[in-house]
Amino acid sequence: MASTPNGLARIETHGAKTKKHENGICHDDSSAPVRAQTIDELHSLQRKRSAPTTPIKDGASSPFAAALSEEERQRQQLQSISASLASLTRETGPKVVRGDPARKGEAAAKGAPSPHPQPVHHHHPHVTPTIAVSDSSLKFTHVLYNLSPAELYEQAIKYEKGSFITSTGALATLSGAKTGRSPRDKRIVKDEASAQELWWGKGSPNIEMDEHTFLTNRERAVDYLNSLDKVFVNDQFLNWDTENRIKVRIISARAYHSLFMHNMCIRPTEEELEEFGTPDFTIYNAGQFPCNRYTHYMTSSTSVDINLSRREMVILGTQYAGEMKKGLFGVMHYLMPRRGILSLHSGCNMGKQGDVALFFGLSGTGKTTLSTDHNRLLIGDDEHCWSDTGVSNIEGGCYAKCIDLSQEKEPDIWNAIKFGTVLENVVFDEHTREVDYTDKSVTENTRAAYPIEYIPNAKIPCVGPHPKNVILLACDAFGVLPPVSKLNLPQTMYHFISGYTALVAGTEDGIKEPQATFSACFGAAFIMLHPTKYAAMLAEKMQKYGATGWLVNTGWSGGRYGVGKRIRLPYTRKIIDAIHSGELLTANYKKTEVFGLEIPTEIDGVPSEILDPINTWTDKGAYKETLLKLAGLFKKNFEVFANYKIGGDSSLTDKILAAGPNF
């Protein structure tokens, strides 16, 4: 063995094997050094490019992909995003480049060329002053485009205070000062077209603003977004009916908002993104930045503005993500009826025989509980379209309430809260990160947003045939509505327009009494057109495709709240099962007084005495008095709709009015 200059034996690492090597006692487990010169380059080797998620049929490539190189496709994509972010007072859009500005060194390590995007030139009809140079025009805006949930987790954890990973893997985040929607701060541009088409005035949720004020707020939002080093851009779809889907672009400043919309909208494949092109509707979410209180029509620092002509939505002064979801739902309430498609605020499921049911109901009526049935496939939990080809879910995800959530009561929602899910405003243990769903310290409106495929029995794609049953749910705390009634078409329209339920409100002296709540079409806050237009479309489709209407009371029996008892959930489930099976179509019926509802005399598994509410009241006089009180509330609520003509004459309006309570 050779010696080193200091007399020590030289260690042989190569050459002939020693005896130990021959016996297999020593192993050389060294490997070739990594192909990196710097730590940034080493990190860049850790990630590889994503492959398309949509297989190419028959081995043929997409015609769009074949015509464009990857570099050209990305250039066009950036041009489109720059156009979306363009100010109306400057001739060019911002200089945009893909990627996180914090990872510039990694791009250089890979040998990528420095990006030099060409500014996109636009000509705006609304331009007054033209600013040649601004600070934003001298910088690049980095675009984080359609990031994956894992990438958005990294962004949120690193840059957004209040973001944490819970014990089940969900992303817990905070929505800031606003923990719910701000309906009084929502505005819609009233122009020549919308003045004629939309529902304005008494009872309408639509509050007007003018075009100039919208453009002022748009400029404020765009300037804020362009001042940031990076923005998140989501290009996604609404409506699982591919013939009638809408392309939406969401530009936001928070990873929380990007992940929320990733979950709630329909997620495009790589192939679909290549052909995405110009969006049909764009959201500018600058919610971290307030609106200018001195701007006309502004009543607070929050403003949620929709311009149907420009197909744009601007959010200022609120970080609550639900504004984006419900804002787009309102847009669908405008766009879809123009195509002869009915937009609906409902749950929807389908039986094994292909029988579809729609569930309408306000908060507390059991819509989510009753539409979630392990024996049936879930098409969607909240927003749907009914076209000439059937029903389709508008969304790609679910937005579930989390207050008092338990695994026993809502196992599907409980199990859906895992990696990829956004948890809004929940409270958790600082060490274990286990969520306490009973804690209302931040808000009672805690929520979870997750992709619909997280529900085991979700039907993918979320489409189905024409509904057989339309179920209107009411939690009647007055205790006078029957557990189930079969409705004719005018009655269905009347109760659909009314959108009734009753809440229990505490009075100052501690006595609790029912409080009637009405929400037109079971979603008055989101509709754009007059409620009777949606009701007429519903009746037309029900008649054309043979659907039956039902009114189901999930509230009280035997007396009002505080006197009677809540109708047992197993009984309500039996009623719903009887509707699905068709059992109630052949049942015997009798008519109730005042409301004139057809009620079955017998249902398998349900005590017959509770089917007619008068039987469960010991004080018959109190029953009649309460019945007339509720009927009066219905009539008073319907006054705002009574003078609205449907079609060329008032005959249909008269039929609907006659279908209400008579006394």
Contact 442, 514 (CB under 8 A): no
Q: Which residues contact 443 (CB under 8 A, 6 or more apart)?
A: 179, 180, 425
When pLDDT is cut at 50, 70 and 90, the band that residue 509 belongs to is very low
Q: Residue 400: its pLDDT value, please? A: 93
DSSP bridge pairs for 312: 282, 307
Q: Residue 33: its pLDDT value, please? A: 66
How wide is the angle at C-alpha 327 spanned by C-alphas 449 and 451, nearest 5°? 20
- Please determine, for residue 597, whether its predicted confidence score (pLDDT) is greater than 50: yes
Residue 310 catalytic?
Answer: no
Q: Residue 87: its pLDDT value, please? A: 84
| 438-472 pLDDT tens trace | 999 999 999 999 999 999 999 999 999 999 999 99
CATH level 3 topology of 143-341+387-454:
Phosphoenolpyruvate Carboxykinase; domain 1 (3.40.449)
Q: Are strands 303-307 and 312-316 parallel, antiparallel or unpaired?
A: antiparallel
Question: Which of the following is catalytic: 220, 326, 468, 530?
Answer: 326
Residue 235 catalytic?
Answer: no
Rounded to whole angstroms, how far apart are CA atoms 555 and 482?
A: 9
How wide is the angle at C-alpha 53 spanned by C-alphas 465 and 453, nearest 5°? 45
Residue 363 catalytic?
Answer: yes
Give mean pLDDT, residues 177-188: 94
Which structure tokens are listed for 592?
């109730």
- Please determine, for residue 481, whether its predicted confidence score (pLDDT) is greater than 90: yes
Residue 229 catalytic?
Answer: no
User: Model-level pTM?
Assistant: 0.85
Rounded to whole angstroms, how far apart are CA atoms 505 and 328?
A: 31
Question: Which of the following is catalytic: 44, 365, 368, 443?
Answer: 368
- Please determine, for residue 313, whether its predicted confidence score (pLDDT) is greater than 90: yes
- Please determine, for residue 115, whether its predicted confidence score (pLDDT) is greater than 50: no
| 482-497 pLDDT tens trace | 999 999 999 999 999 9
Q: Are strands 303-307 and 186-189 parallel, antiparallel or unpaired?
A: parallel
| 398-441 pLDDT tens trace | 999 999 999 998 999 999 999 999 999 999 999 999 999 999 99
Contact 270, 53 (CB under 8 A): yes
Residue 431 catalytic?
Answer: no
Give mean pLDDT, residues 344-369: 94
Rounded to whole angstroms, how far apart are CA atoms 77 and 117?
A: 11
More confident residue, 207 or 74: 207
Give mean pLDDT, residues 514-531: 94
Contact 560, 478 (CB under 8 A): yes
What are the sequence ranges of the domains in the chain? 143-341+387-454, 466-659
DSSP bridge pairs for 250: 234, 283
Question: Which of the following is catalytic: 245, 367, 466, 541?
Answer: 367
Residue 257 catalytic?
Answer: no
Other beta carbons within 10 angstroms of residue 575's beta carbon come to 26
| 372-395 pLDDT tens trace | 899 999 999 999 999 999 999 999
Residue 326 catalytic?
Answer: yes
Question: Which of the following is catalytic: 220, 249, 447, 574?
Answer: 447
Of 139-148, 339-348, 464-473, 500-509, the one with minimum mean pLDDT is: 500-509
Name which of 604, 585, 599, 371 is nearest 480 in CA terms.
599
Which structure tokens are listed for 283?
């959201």
Domain 466-659: CATH architecture, name and number where available: Alpha-Beta Complex (3.90)
Q: Residue 503: its pLDDT value, please? A: 79
- Please determine, for residue 315, whether its predicted confidence score (pLDDT) is greater than 90: yes
Question: Which of the following is catalytic: 90, 95, 142, 181?
Answer: 181
When pLDDT is cut at 50, 70 and 90, the band that residue 240 belongs to is very high
Evaluate whether 143-341+387-454 and 466-659 have a shared fold: no
- Please determine, for residue 1, whether its predicted confidence score (pLDDT) is greater than 90: no
When pLDDT is cut at 50, 70 and 90, the band that residue 514 belongs to is confident
φ, ψ dihedrals at 326, nearest 5°: -75, -25
| Mean pLDDT of all residues belonging to the chain | 87
Contact 73, 62 (CB under 8 A): no
Question: Which of the following is catalytic: 185, 223, 373, 382?
Answer: 382
Question: Which of the following is catalytic: 95, 325, 345, 580?
Answer: 345
Beta strands of 411-510 (E only): which ranges? 422-424, 427-428, 435-436, 447-451, 463-464, 467-474, 484-487, 500-506
More confident residue, 462 or 45: 462
Q: Which residues contact 185 (CB under 8 A, 6 or more apart)?
A: 299, 300, 302, 303, 304, 317, 318
When pLDDT is cut at 50, 70 and 90, the band that residue 136 belongs to is low
When pLDDT is cut at 50, 70 and 90, the band that residue 89 belongs to is confident
Of 149-158, 284-293, 549-558, 643-652, the one with minimum mean pLDDT is: 643-652
Residue 181 catalytic?
Answer: yes
Instruction: Determine the 3-state secondary structure of 320 from DSSP.
Output: coil
546-to-78, 272, 529, 541 alpha-carbon distances in Å: 49, 36, 25, 8
Q: Are strands 377-380 and 422-424 parallel, antiparallel or unpaired?
A: unpaired
Question: Which of the following is catalytic: 363, 406, 441, 618?
Answer: 363
- Please determine, for residue 508, whether its predicted confidence score (pLDDT) is greater than 60: no
Q: Which helix (H) or strand (E) holds 67?
A: helix 63-67
How wide is the angle at C-alpha 287 spanned by C-alphas 282 and 290, nearest 5°? 120
Contact 72, 136 (CB under 8 A): no
Give mean pLDDT, residues 517-530: 96
Of 59-68, 248-257, 388-397, 487-496, the one with minimum mean pLDDT is: 59-68
Rounded to whole angstroms, how far apart are CA atoms 583 and 589?
A: 12
